[in-house]
Structure 1
Amino acid sequence: MKNIEPKIKKLTADILKDYGQGRTIDKMNAFTSPDMDVVVDILDKLQKILFPGYYRNKNYHFYTAENNLQTLIEDVLFNLTKQISMYLRYLPEYSNADYRTGMERAQEIAMEFLSRIPKIRDLVETSVQAEFDGDPAAFNKDEIIFCYPGMYAIMVFRLAHEFYDLGVPMLPRIMSEYAHGKTGIDIHPGATIGRFFFIDHGTGIVVGETTVIGDNVKVYQGVTIGALSTRGGQNLRSKKRHPTIEDNVTIYSGASILGGETVIGHDSVIGGNTFITMSVPPGSNVSIKSQELHISSKGRPDAEAKDLDQSATWFYTI
């Protein structure tokens, strides 16, 4: 094509002019903004720390586990501190802080996070065990760690949740959205999730920010644990918008459980494709039959179900 150079120069000038409108998307300070690639690299190194016998640093060779681990920790601490210092600028108290103040606080947070690694590893181990115990297709635990998308999503959630708990803006969401893109599983880092959490298959799962999930909960693909409505927008920030799932609950594929006041009682089974916006008593089986929601009790004398006839079956039009 003839005369391409002046056309490219004109395109460049036009786009640069468009950058000058002062909109959010026009921000140009790339070198002082968070770096997605660095965050992904940190996640990769944290995975090596969590699973030392499964993921190795191939760039270096070490004679001892101590040297290997120390190098990883120093690498993560250095890069994590730099990234956190950038995220802290989104907080009012650090928006105008000098470089040294921001870096010192960032290093304190990074050190506190790294001190929580043993706790995170303990929680991750419970999910490895739950996945193995609950899936007859699992050949061994190595297969779960290497191959199961649910395992990766849970691992990233456990890491991101600690940053969320430490009050670091944006970083936990970048981590969780990276896992979302990689696995199709969207777990907000603000959710509270107990031990032995098991995700089977996983694609399409959504878990909202204020969700509370107890111990020994199993969730299948396509499940939404979400909010009833987002019409309130920012006015709903920090309010309980998502359900509570008590211990020993199984939620089958395609189920939607919505609302901050919705509680799924312990030892319940939620059938596939159900749509639930009200609390379910402990020990219930919930399923769709034709166009009705079928809730049957297991005859448990729980106080939460005292107003219900334990031998009856309830139908709610949906």
Structure 2
Amino acid sequence: MMKKLNFVKFAYFAFSAHKYSDYLASYKTECMTITNFTRPSTIQEGDTIGILSTARAIEQEELLKAKKHLNEKGFNVIYGATIGAKHHQFAGDDELRLNDLQTMIDTPEVDAIICARGGYGTARLLEQINWSNFKENPKWIMGYSDITALHNALSQMGIMSLHGIMPINIKDDESKQALDKALAIMCGQSSFSLDLQSHKLNHSAPARGILTGGNLSMLYSLRGTKYDFESRQRILFIEDLDEYLYHIDRMMVNFKLSHILTNISALVVGGMTDMNDNTIAYGYTAEEIIESHMEEDIPLFFNAPFGHFPGNHPLVCGAQGNISNENNQWRLNYKL
């Protein structure tokens, strides 16, 4: 009887191990790293750019300078139904914001989409978006901050998107120049570069990888979901605004424990703007917190020119990135 029980146990565990190995093989196939991204269609003068809000409410008056600048560059501009709409803090309820985005995605006459602002609310729409038409005819979608949710979703499909300045930010020459740089990419520019500033906490070293990232809090909030980001063979870029310092530490601990910080090719940190502290000081800056969780052999650069400020340089999620030292200047170059 004992021999029979032992045989049954052996057979059960052998079967379970076989099924688990099948599961792992299937999982690895489903989660294979995407290395070749599709570039959305190029736009040109006379094309139409749609502006909408997937997050916080915004009025047309806040978009006038951006619309005027886009018109001067030769583009038609249309507003979505979310512009001027309000449901509590949102630009309309979830249904309105979803329908507005879906309409812009599915309308062939809309050649590119720029999100008017961030705030919060984009992730609430992810599960209901129908990307079928978009996959057949991808168009540029641009934004940052809360729009990181859309960048993650598009990266999962292997489609490039633009992490760049939004219409609410267009107020002066510096912000207009940042918009012009993003428009140049939408119009066909195939390469771009950012100078990486010297910083006492930098781990300056060359690196190669696909660009991925965005707002740190949004990346953290999507961890463990199907909209999580890939870290292998990636140059991860992050920025954030108005966060408590201990929150920065919490998020970086998550990245460390899940091996993101050792999987990535490099980490590039943009603006960590208007950080908050408690009555009893946390004791470290955001940059010091981030550096404390990084291994010495992973390239790390701070104060890169992107984030919540007028000179928010564009980054293309899905582009091939290369960090190198050119004539004593560290630079992030990327190609589409």
Both proteins in one fold, TM over 0.5: no
Give the strand-richer structure, 1 or 2: 2
User: What TM-score, normalized by structure 2, do the two folds share?
Assistant: 0.25
Give the helix-richer structure, 1 or 2: 1
Q: Bigger radius of gyration, 1 or 2?
A: 1
* Higher-RCO chain (CA-CA 8 Å, sequence separation at least 6): 2
User: What TM-score, normalized by structure 1, do the two folds share?
Assistant: 0.26
